[in-house]
Structure 1
Amino acid sequence: MKLIRIKDVIERTGLGRSTVYKYMNLGLFPKSVNLTSRAVAWVESEVDAWIQNSIECRDTEDN
């Protein structure tokens, strides 16, 4: 299991930092994991699954 930091999340998803946190608070994006009192990361596989789900939703809407 690999953890990725916000920079990688932004690069993978194309979302901005504030949007990542907004979606996370709305339950639309995976929750972060606290590493220290000032550092967080996300589980890579959960972010990848979110991306895959977004693609599947897009493909379903197209049909």
Structure 2
Amino acid sequence: MKLIRIKEVMNRTGLARSTVYKYISENNFPKPIKLGSRAVAWVESEIEGWINDVIHERDRGQPEPNT
């Protein structure tokens, strides 16, 4: 299991820091793990899963391309 910090989360998702925390407050994003009094990190596989879910939602209901 690998933990990643906010800058890496932002790089991977394309989200701004404020959007990450907004989505967390709306229960639409993985919650961070507290590492210390002022440090948090996310489980890398949970972030990857969230990205895959967003891609799946985008593709759901889309017609198959004609070949």
Question: Is the structural similarity TM-score above 0.5?
Answer: yes
Counterpart residue number, 1:28: 28
1:4 aligns with 2:4: yes
Instruction: Give 1:50's aligned residue.
Output: 50
Query: What's the counterpart of residue 18 of structure 2?
Result: 18
Please provide the CA RMSD for this pair. 0.8
How far residue 59 of structure 1 moved from its aligned partner, in angstroms, is 0.3
Secondary structure in 1 matching 2:37:
coil
Q: The residue matched to 2:42 in structure 1 has which SS?
A: strand
Unaligned runs of 5+ in 2: none
Give aligned pairs, total: 63
Aligned-partner Cα distance in 1 for 2:20–2:44: 14
Structure 1 unaligned runs (5+)? none
SS of 2:27's partner is: coil
CA distance in 2, matches of 1:61, 1:21: 29
Structure 1 vs Structure 2: percent identity of aligned residues? Answer: 60
In structure 2, the CA distance between the partners of 1:61 and 1:17, relative to structure 1 (3 Å rule), is farther
Which amino acid is the alignment partner of residue 58 of structure 2? R
Bigger Rg, structure 1 or 2: 2
